[in-house]
């Protein structure tokens, strides 16, 4: 939608709604390209894997996980698409009512988190943040776009109260006074770069001292060789052995936070450092290994490229006016 591809974006929106049709309780976090739900995971033990990186797996067990954040991702995408001119759907009230009612039932449950960890469910801060986003975007769809007509208006008092309740809990339980940062999960001291998205979605203003403290903590503990890890692996939260490279999307998110805070020189420097990692075709992987100086993980990774587009837009908006004429009047992708 940001690039003007309304037809393609609308087609994907409709595909997503068809794939996820039915009871929100049965929505999966992923589907195959044809919209099928069964993605049973199994190992191919006879294959050595890339550079001995066993196990080689088919399918993805994460398709059976409970990830609370997906409801916020879907609601946010639909809201932003409508804001940018995508036509609504006649069944919008049914969809947003079902979504908001389901989030209202499940938001207090622990989940598997945005990183699809296999170390057990927790009350992940990012998951709760995105539950807030889900309710907030439904409220905005009703208030700003008249979704659901009078019936939608009747939902507003309840949804507004729920939105405030979730916001209050995340601020109280997601922020760790000892760490002076929003942490990975309630009560824990582990840092997680996903909370860098708080200003993107409008949860708190960038200048909020708690967000500034979070940026400082991540700079100190999650930045390696100029790039950002998604979380500290030494605590075993993800249930996996070993370490991993810097997660490229997270590095873009830090650049965004620099831009939000007026640190545009640092934002541009990190952004350019990330651009320099691209392949000759301009592609990015999921992660980067600063030691071996090569891209690793899934390649190409759409998550990294979407983060790049978002950063280019956000940094462009925060540059001096003479350098950002094309960005004048633009709205943040996730704001």
Q: In the chain, what are the domain boundaries?
A: 1-25+66-173, 30-64, 200-335
pLDDT, tens digit (0-9, with 9 covering 90-100), for 45-91: 899 988 887 888 887 766 566 688 888 888 888 888 888 888 877 76
Least confident of 69-78, 94-103, 218-227, 277-286: 94-103
Which among 19, 21, 50 has a CA at the least distance from the CA of 32?
A: 19
pLDDT, tens digit (0-9, with 9 covering 90-100), for 258-315: 999 989 899 999 999 999 999 999 999 998 888 888 888 888 999 899 999 999 999 9
Alpha-carbon torsion (119, 61, 68, 219), positive or negative: positive
Q: Are 103 and 135 in contact (CB under 8 A)?
A: yes
What pTM was computed for the model?
A: 0.84
Integer Cα distance of 153 and 96 in angstroms = 12
Distances (CA, A) of 200 to 91, 133, 184, 306, 311: 28, 11, 17, 13, 11
Integer Cα distance of 223 and 212 in angstroms = 16
């Amino acid at each position: 939608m940001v690039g003007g591809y309304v037809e393609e974006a609308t087609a994907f929106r409709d595909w997503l709604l068809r794939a996820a049709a039915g009871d929100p309780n049965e929505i999966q976090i992923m589907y195959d390209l044809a919209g099928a739900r069964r993605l049973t995971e199994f190992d191919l033990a006879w294959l050595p894997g890339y550079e001995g990186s066993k196990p080689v797996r088919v399918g993805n067990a994460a398709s059976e996980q409970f990830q609370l954040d997906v409801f916020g991702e879907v609601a946010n995408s639909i809201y932003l698409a409508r804001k940018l001119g995508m036509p609504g759907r006649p069944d919008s009230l049914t969809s947003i009512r079902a979504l908001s009612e389901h989030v209202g039932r499940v938001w207090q449950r622990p989940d598997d988190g945005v990183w699809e960890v296999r170390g057990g469910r927790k009350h992940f801060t990012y998951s709760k943040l995105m539950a807030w986003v889900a309710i907030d975007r439904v409220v905005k769809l009703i208030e700003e776009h008249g979704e659901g007509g009078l019936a939608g208006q009747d939902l507003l008092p309840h949804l507004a109260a729920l939105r405030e309740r979730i916001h209050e809990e995340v601020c109280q339980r997601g922020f760790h006074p000892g760490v002076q940062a929003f942490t990975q999960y309630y009560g824990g001291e582990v840092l997680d770069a996903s909370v860098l998205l708080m200003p993107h979605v409008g949860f708190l203003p960038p200048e909020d001292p708690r967000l500034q403290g979070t940026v400082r903590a991540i700079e100190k503990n999650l930045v390696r060789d100029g790039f950002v890890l998604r979380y500290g692996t030494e605590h075993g939260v993800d249930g996996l052995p070993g370490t991993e490279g810097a997660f490229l999307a997270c590095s873009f998110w830090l650049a965004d936070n620099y831009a939000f805070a007026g640190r545009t020189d640092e934002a541009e420097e990190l952004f350019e450092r990330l651009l320099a990692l691209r392949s000759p075709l301009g592609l990015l992987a999921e992660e980067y290994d600063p030691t071996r100086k090569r891209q690793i993980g899934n390649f190409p990774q759409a998550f990294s490229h979407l983060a790049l587009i978002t950063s280019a837009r956000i940094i462009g908006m925060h540059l001096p006016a003479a350098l950002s004429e094309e960005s004048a009047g633009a709205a943040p992708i996730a704001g």
